[in-house]
Amino acid sequence: MSLISNNLQVVRADLIAAANAAGRLPEEISLMAVSKTFDEHAVLEAAASGQRIFGENYVQEAVDKIDRTRLLAPDLHLDWHFIGPIQSNKTKLIAENFAWVHSVDREKIAQRLSEQRPADAAPLNICIQVNISKEESKSGVMPEDCLSLAEFVVQLPHLALRGLMAVPRASDDVVEQRLAFRQLRQLQDQVQIALGNRARLDTLSMGMSGDMQAAIAEGSTMVRIGSNIFGKRTYATA
Ligand SMILES: *Cc1c(COP(=O)(O)O)cnc(C)c1O
C-alpha cells in the first residue's frame, strides 16, 4: 500500500474516532485533502483511495495541477476547494476552476468571484474566512465584521454562502484550540440567525493536521488535512 493511502486510512480512522468521542456521526464531517506543494501524482494516489475533495492555496500551482489531473484521469470527478489568500487579479482563475472558496474575507473579492463565475456553472460555494484569534498577520475578516460581509455575499447571484472558515492561532493546548473553534461556531450561529432564510450555513470549515480532534469536538463539518495525508511540505510556492 502506498504511503498516501496508508496515511488516508489513519486520518479517516482518527476522524471517525473523534466524531464518536464527540457523540457525532462521522458522515457529518467531510475530509478535505490539502494537496498544496504536492503534484498531480499525489492527488491521483489519494483519489485511488477514494478521496474526492482537494484543497489548494496557490492559484497558478492549483490550476496547472487541476489541468494535469484531468488530462491523466478525464473521467475522475474531483471537488477542488480554494483555501489560500486571494489577490484580486486571481479571482477569474479561481471562479473558473474551483467548486468552493473558503478564504473570502472582503467584499471586493466576493463581488469579483460572483461576476467572473462562468454562466453555465453552479453557484460558487463560499465560506467566509474569519480571523478568529485576531492575529495581526493573519488573513480573514475580524469577527465583528463577519455579519456585514455575509450580508453582502448572500445577495450576490453567482455565489452560495455555505459557512465560515478559520485558521486559529497555532497551539498545542487542546483547551485553547477548542475555545477558538467554539468562538467560530458561535459566530456562525449568530450569522445564521441574522440571515434567516436568506442562507443555509451548513459548513464549518475548521481543523487541520494539528487540531482536527478539537475542531470535530466543537462542530466542524469539514476538516482540511495536509501534512498528515501527504507528508511534510518541503518547499513553498508563491
Ligand atoms: C496548509 C493548510 C491546511 C493544511 O495544513 P496541515 O497542517 O498540513 O494539515 C489547512 N488549511 C489551510 C488554510 C492551509 O493553508
List the pLDDT tens digit at each of the 238 positions of the chain.
689 999 999 999 999 999 999 999 999 999 999 999 999 999 999 999 999 999 999 999 999 999 999 999 999 999 999 999 999 999 999 999 999 999 999 999 999 999 999 999 999 999 999 999 999 989 999 999 999 999 999 999 999 999 999 999 999 999 999 999 999 999 999 999 999 999 999 999 999 999 999 999 999 999 999 999 999 998 655 4
Which of 48, 40, 65, 38 has its CA nearest to residue 5? 48
Evaluate whether 117 touches 102 at the Cβ level (below 8 Å): no
Ligand 1, atom 7, residue with closest C-alpha: 209
User: In Å, how far are 7, 17, 68, 183, 220 from 28, measured between CA atoms?
Assistant: 21, 13, 31, 20, 9
How far is ligand 1, taken at its centre, from the CA of residue 36, in Å?
9
How far is ligand 1, taken at its centre, from the CA of residue 1, in Å?
25
**Ligand 1 environment, Cβ below 6 A:** 34, 36, 57, 83, 167, 208-210, 224-228
| Whole-number pLDDT of residue 238 | 46
Residue 130 C-alpha cell reads as 474569519
| Whole-number pLDDT of residue 234 | 83
Q: How many CA atoms lie within 13 A of 187 on its CB side?
A: 29
Alpha-carbon gap, residue 50 to 45, rounded angstroms: 9
Ligand 1, atom 4, residue with closest C-alpha: 226
How far is ligand 1, taken at its centre, from the CA of residue 225, in Å?
6
Ligand 1, atom 12, residue with closest C-alpha: 83
Alpha-carbon gap, residue 128 to 141, rounded angstroms: 8
| Whole-number pLDDT of residue 237 | 52
Using CB atoms within 10 Å of the CB of residue 130, give its burial: 0 to 12 exposed, 13 to 18 middle, 19+ buried. buried
Ligand 1, atom 5, residue with closest C-alpha: 226
CB atoms within 10 A of CB 200: 12
